[in-house]
Homo-oligomer: A and B are copies of this chain.
Amino acid sequence: MKPTRIVVIGGGFAGVNFIRQLAGNEAFEITLVDRNNYNFFPPLLYQVATGFLTMSNISYPFRKLFRKHKNVHFRLAELIALHPEQNQVETSTGIIGYDMLVLAMGTETNYFGMENVKRLAVPMKTVSDALALRNYLLLQLERASIEQDPEERKRLMTIVVAGGGPTGVEISGMLAEMRKRIFRLDYPELDINDMDIHLVDALPTVLAPMSKASQTDTLSYLQQLNVKVTLNKQVKDYVNEEVLFADGSKIHTRTLIWTAGVSATPLRGLPESCFGKGKRLLVDIFNKVAGTANIYAIGDNCLQSGDPAFVNGHPQLAQVAIQQGRVLAKNLLKKGESWAEFRYNDKGSMAIVGNFKAVADLPKLHFKGFIAYMMWLAVHLFSLTRYRNRVKTLMNWAWAFFTRDQALRYIVREKKSS
Contact = CB atoms under 8 A, between A and B. Distances in A.
A60 B129 contact: no
A415 B132 CA distance: 8
A264 B402 CA distance: 42
Interface string A89-115: 000011000000000000011000000
Contacts of A94: 146
Contacts of A59: 410
A171 to B, nearest CB: 16
B187 A63 contact: yes
11 contacts: A38-B411, A61-B409, A63-B187, A64-B405, A70-B188, A108-B418, A123-B417, A127-B410, A128-B412, A128-B416, A388-B407
A187 B75 CA distance: 11
A37 B409 contact: yes
Most buried by B among A75, A118, A128, A416: A416
- Chain A interface size band reads 35 or more
A36 interface: yes
- A interface, over-half SS: mixed
A197 to B, nearest CB: 20
Interface string A180-205: 00000111110000000000000000
A138 B93 CA distance: 15
A383 interface: no
A412 B131 contact: yes
A310 interface: no
A261 to B, nearest CB: 13
Contacts of A412: 36, 55, 127-128, 131
Given A76-B411, A128-B414, 6 more contacts: A36-B412, A37-B142, A38-B411, A64-B186, A70-B188, A76-B142
A73 B417 contact: no
A361 to B, nearest CB: 29
A61 B139 CA distance: 13
A348 B127 CA distance: 42
Nearest to A135: B414
Nearest to A186: B63
A229 B26 CA distance: 43
A144 to B, nearest CB: 11
A257 B119 CA distance: 35
A234 interface: no
A128 B56 CA distance: 17
Copies in the complex: 2
Interface string A51-72: 0001110011101100100100
Contacts of A129: 416-417
A126 interface: yes
A127 to B, nearest CB: 6
A125 interface: yes
A264 to B, nearest CB: 13
A185 B67 contact: yes
B187 A416 contact: no
A395 to B, nearest CB: 7
Interface string A132-143: 100000110011
Interface in A350-385: none
Residue from A118, A122, A407 with most neighbouring chain B CB atoms (10 Å) = A407
A388 B407 CA distance: 9
A325 B63 CA distance: 45
Contact of A67 (B55, B126, B186, B410): B186
Nearest to A91: B146
A399 interface: yes
A246 interface: no
A138 B388 CA distance: 21
Question: Which 4 A-B pairs rank lowest in CB-CB distance, beginning with the nearest?
Answer: A63-B186, A76-B142, A414-B414, A126-B417
A128 B410 CA distance: 11
